Structure 1
Amino acid sequence: MHAASLLHLLQFASPSLPIGAYSYSQGLEAALESGLVKDEAGAGVWIAAHLMQVVARFEAPVCWRLMQAFAARDAEAVRFWTEHFIAARDTAEFRAETVQMGYSLSRLVLDLGVADEPLRAILQAVSEVPLPTAMAFAVAALDMPHEEALLATLFAWAENQVLACVKSVPLGQVAGQRLLLSLRPQIEQAAAVARQLQDHGLSNWAPALSLLSMRHETQYSRLYRS
């Protein structure tokens, strides 16, 4: 990978990217409140299951398709997968999260002035921009390699989940790093699944996670947005 591409990946996978990822737990805080996650081992099981059963089978494959669509300047494919992703957000919390972060990331890329006019036109034709669309737009604008960008996106998701556990389980910093390191095989596997999965195989069926997200919307004490 060229140095410029690597540096772009490091920048856009960083938790310091100002899109608000740190303020969401994706159902994890409700799982903590319910006692489903209590310690480092339980956190590892939870994050790995969420990664492989939901992210790898729906969110990452959609992001992969959007990267290809932007690269091909295929506005219809961008519109289709964007609308498909938003329609699949099955709680108000999950929908608000992806739209808020997608808006923030897309505005950031537009304000940086790194996207050409055809790319900007494709993005601006979409009424609402979820996070996968905004990330794919950034990948195209900065000419990042798709496979590495997908891995970076998955790593950023896992890192955010681990940071939530560090703050809320709570776990120590060393335990958090140990947990993140242990997730490397699952992150690689999730990327492979996302690249290979056919359209008919996409699924975000996770009713327990959806119920936890709904519960989090009215949870009395919480650190994360709903």
Structure 2
Amino acid sequence: MRAATATATPPRTAITMAMAMTIDTAALVRLMSWLSPAFPVGGFNYSHGLEQAVAAELVSDRETLKSWLDALTTRGSAWNDLVLLAEAWRQAGEGGDLAETAQLAEALAGSSERHLETMNQGSAFLAAASAWGQGIAAGLGPRAALPVAVGACAARSGLPLEATLAAYLQAFLSNQVQAAQRLMPIGQTGGIDVLSTLEPLIGEIAARASRSTLDDLGSSTLNADIAAMRHETMPSRIFVS
């Protein structure tokens, strides 16, 4: 008996991902400004628990760093950030009340340092983004978690959701790689290798997060969460988190 055959859905190639995230030049420039290392949010101060992970030898080379970042992106804090960003983007675009989303994002910070990291960066982002007009952060006040701040401001600037999610995730992963370069001997070439390997994942997860709802929130990266907590008691450290 002949086996039944089915047509598989083709994988998202670099070209199809680029088509899905088509963005005009003005919007691209704004995203590059907001999510570049030069934007004054102080991202270089935070390792998101990576410093403790390196000290505990959970992350020690390119491959373990890739695995660590893959986990954060697909089922950890980075994924939750994208879901929250998407919700804030929708609420702001529809003129909804951002207060509940902002409160939820703050409550989901799993440790005191994670809370400090997202709230300090979010507040700094809102202050800097006010250069594009005071109304851009309406409904948030001076303080909000970073993904909520970025999502709301992006919606009010007419920036497309999927491209904003991809840019946000790439900025987060780049900051993690820069932290790793200061913590262990992977060098610039190794760091670029990690980022290039993660490019397809960024496109895939941005597309998935653009279709997400708050029901998709969830994390199963216990080692990363514990590392973020243990970092608070490290006797000697470079990073705030």
TM, length-normalised to structure 1: 0.90
Partner of 2:209: 194
Structure with bigger gyration radius:
2
State yes or no: 1:5 paired with 2:27: yes
Percent identity at matched positions?
A: 27
SS of 1:123's partner is coil
Q: Cα deviation per residue 1:11-53 (whole Å; 9 max; x = unaligned)? A: 1121111101111111111100001111111111111111111
Query: Does structure 2 retain, via aligned residues, the 8 Å contact 1:73–1:122?
Result: no
| Counterpart residue number, 1:122 | 139
Secondary structure at the aligned position of 1:183 is classed as helix
Q: Is the 8 A contact 1:67 1:139 kept in 2?
A: yes
CA distance in 2, matches of 1:13, 1:140: 15
Does structure 1 residue 165 correspond to structure 2 residue 141? no
In terms of fraction of residues, the more helix-rich structure is 1
Deviations 1:104-148 (A, max 9, x none): 0001112x14243xx544122xx7411012112321343212111
| Deviation by residue 1:188-211 (Cα, 9 ceiling, x = unmatched) | 222122123343231134332221
Residues paired across the two proteins, number: 219
Runs of 4+ with >3 A deviation: none
Aligned residues of 2:162 and 2:207 also touching (Cα < 8 A): no
Matched, 1:137 2:156: no
- What letter matches 1:123 in structure 2? L
Offset from partner CA, 1:38-89 (integer Å, 9 cap, x none): 11111111111111111454110111110111111112xx111111111111
Partner of 2:233: 218
Higher relative contact order (CA 8 A, sep 6+): 1
Structure 1: segments with no counterpart, 5+ residues = none
Moved more, 163-172 or 20-29: 163-172
* Residue of structure 2 equivalent to 1:91: 111
Verify: 1:17 aligned to 2:39, yes or no: yes
Which residue, out of 38, 56, 62, partners 2:84? Answer: 62
Distance between the aligned counterparts of 1:193 and 1:150, measured in 2?
A: 10
User: Normalising to structure 2: TM-score of the pair?
Assistant: 0.85
Kindly indicate whether residue 67 of structure 2 is the aligned counterpart of residue 50 of structure 1.
no
Q: What root-mean-square deviation, in Å, do the aligned CA atoms of Structure 1 and Structure 2 show? A: 1.7
SS of the residue 1:68 aligns to: helix
Which amino acid in 1 is paired with 2:186?
A: L
State the match for 2:127 in structure 1.
107
Name the CA shift for 1:25/1:143 in 2 (closer, same or farther; >3 Å): same
8 Å CA contact retained: 1:56, 1:193: no
Matches of 1:122 and 1:199, distance apart in 2 = 19
Query: Does the 8 A contact of 2:122 with 2:149 survive in 1?
Result: yes
Q: Which letter does structure 1 place at the counterpart of 2:187?
A: G
Q: Work out the CA distance in 2 between the residues paired with 1:199 and 1:135.
A: 17
Runs of at least 5 residues in structure 2 that lack an aligned partner in the other structure:
1-22
